[in-house]
A and B are shown apart, each in its own frame.
Chain A
Amino acid sequence: MSRYDALDLAERMALKFEVEEFLHREASLIDERRLDEWLALCADDIHYWMPIRRTTTAKEIANEFTKPGSMAYFDDDKKMLALRIQRLQVGRAWAEDPPSRTRHIVTNVRVLDVNGDEIDVGLNFQLYRTRLDSEEDSWIGRREDRLRRVDGAFKLARRHIYLDQTVILAQNMSNLF
């Protein structure tokens, strides 16, 4: 039983409400392209990571994702996230000029554990993207986020993204998940 499960109903409801409020606000900052504000919500030691998923047999499913330290689609610290955002602001970032239109759908939010100021959250997401006249991409997956309470507000301390696609069926991933 996690520390979250040990809380009473009212405490669980309040905590889950706070978590969801943060996640929804944070997602809307990305969709509204307020990326500097989004970056400000990231903890200085954030690990933003999307491993590579592979099709394996059922017997070898433990090898489905690449491990930390090997190849990944995203393996960013805050500095790298800042570079990604800065890239979009300096011109000649053609994948996003004209800008894509994104919509983050965040759902099935579960508090997995509470550890002092840190709350581990599991959720499902869909990131829908359309661009120009007919480009359309849709990514569905699972995330494991860690929120940390700093001075009474949440910071995003970890985002591990587990996409359901193996071959990425998009010509790039120029957006944040």
Chain B
Amino acid sequence: MAATMIASDRRPWVDAERGVVDRRIFSDPDLYRLELERIFARAWNFVCHESQLPEAGSFFVNWIGEDQVIAVRDRTGKINVLLNSCPHRGNTVCRAELGKTSSFFCSYHGWNFDLDGRLIGMPGQDAFYREAIDKSEWGLANAAQVDSYRGFVFASLDPSAPRLHDYLGWVGRLGIDMTALRGDMEVIDGIHKNRLQCNWKLAVDNLFDWYHVKVSHGSAMRIGFVPEDQMAPMDQMVILGEYGHGIGGPGVTVAQQAEFEARMKSGNGTPQWYDEAASQRMSPAMREQLGPVGTRSYGHPNIFPNLWITQFNQICLRIPRGPFQTELWWFTLLPKEMPAEQRRNLIHMTNHVFGPAGLLEQDDGENWSHSTRGAKGAVTRRRPLNYSMGHGHDRVQVDPSGQSRIETVVNEHGQLWTYRSWQDWMQAESWQELIAHHSLPPSERI
């Protein structure tokens, strides 16, 4: 009830004109409950990569908000996404986080479910139920919609959600393409998982943040683990998409892109931070797919609400575990055809960048947890946060191909766009209303 009241008063939590955000969105438990309903239960959420489910019976457990789901490949090869809760007493039917099984057998009373969720048996069907239960009505609930885009499997728990292709739009698809088109991608065994004491949105907004790099990750630069000039470049490109998707971060000029390519072709020169990614963009097919603008973006895509795709072989889910806790799950993707030595080196390097022991990421949680703490005090939380960097100073350019972007310096356009879109989601009563009233990316000035 409280949640409905908050939603219906249409309070401007996000003032997109001034570029400020009400801190209460990071701590209010009613808003958090509303997010589970209006964002996670509605959106297309990433559940796994197809390579994680190699054969019939392979499963992987994930979260959509606080709804736990099992992604499982059935005997026809189809991937199903099932709510991990027995319809009899609600018990969890799959307690392993990954593996292979022939069915999901409930440990409470023995209801047994097929890989597509159908109830296939229960003890006492004749003797106790007297054949009076219709098994076809009591299977595990299937996600309303399941689809995949270039191997990335998504599910929506809302039957009225638009199809995945339209939900992602060109920006979401471009964000996935940047990684998915590098080859025949597969997830490397092992997902880094750890739990932070922060609100999930503070972890999400950081992925667009190229302002924090030199400060938060100053130690990693000082020891030369990552190069400062390439990790925190001034030249930035921001690409904004409907429903809150965005890509923000380094953008190179046409001349710089040519320079990367010359260096890669000559096979000499110092390998640079972007070279691995740049080298993937030299094939005409890749360029055509990414488009003239996308080819020059080395930014971080976020698939709204919570899937960050890095330019560094990884994707990270920021999973809400209550208003004050977030789990980070890092998946690492490499092309199957990558030469063994390059693969070994990349896995080694990837292990040392992100994840709880990563030389970059160790210091991130510190900031997000304390930003969350700063949203709790009765008076402290009344002070809004400033997301205005660059706001009102930049111009949206549209390429003849139709791809639009902002080319500028370090800015907070991506973060503000995320919160502005978040507010659309929170205020809409239904998908129908969200489709009709969501913010469109600015087309001239921003």
A-side residues, CB < 8 A to B, are 50-52, 54-57, 60, 63, 66-67, 69-76, 80, 83-84, 86-88, 90-95, 166-174
CB–CB B367/A94 < 8 A: yes
Chain B residues engaging chain A, CB cutoff 8 angstroms: 95-101, 188-198, 215-220, 222-223, 225, 327, 332, 344, 347-348, 350-352, 355-357, 359, 361-363, 365-367, 369
A87 and B219 within 8 A (CB) = yes
A74 touches B189 (CB 8 A): no
Chain B nearest CB from A68 CB (Å) reads: 10
**Which residues of B have CB within 8 Å of A87?**
219-220, 222-223, 225, 359
For chain A, what secondary structure do more than half of its interface residues adopt (helix, strand, loop), or is it mixed? loop
Look across to chain A and name the residue whose beta carbon is closest to the beta carbon of B369.
A171
Q: Which of A56, A67, A88 contacts B219 (CB 8 A)?
A: A88
Which chain B residues border A66 with CB–CB below 8 Å?
189-190
Of B198, B219, B327, B351, the residue contacting A72 (CB under 8 A) is B351
Contact A86 B223 (CB under 8 A): yes
Determine the distance from Cα of A167 to Cα of B355 in the docked complex, in whole angstroms: 11
| Cβ of A115 to closest chain B Cβ, rounded Å | 27
Partner of B225 from A56, A60, A83, A170 at Cβ < 8 Å:
A83
Taking a contact as CB atoms under 8 Å apart, the answer to whether B351 and A83 are in contact is no
Q: Is the CB of B190 within 8 A of A51?
A: yes
The answer, among B99, B189, B216, B356, for a CB contact under 8 Å with A171, is B356
Q: Can you name the residue of chain B whose Cβ is closest to the Cβ of A131?
A: B366
12 A-B residue pairs with Cβ-Cβ distance under 8 Å, sorted by A, are: A51-B190, A55-B95, A56-B98, A57-B95, A66-B189, A71-B190, A92-B216, A95-B365, A167-B193, A171-B196, A173-B356, A173-B362
User: Bound state CA distance, A56 and B221, in angstroms?
Assistant: 38
Known: A52-B191, A168-B195, A171-B369. A84 touches B355 (CB 8 A): no
Which of A57, A72, A93, A172 is within 8 Å of B361, CB to CB? A172
User: How far is the CB of A165 from the nearest CB of chain B, in Å?
Assistant: 9
CA distance A88 to B220 in the complex (A): 9
Q: Across the interface, do B332 and A170 meet the contact criterion of CB distance under 8 Å?
A: no
The residue from A70, A88, A173 contacting B190, defined by CB atoms under 8 A apart: A70
Q: A64–B391 Cα gap in the complex (Å)? A: 49
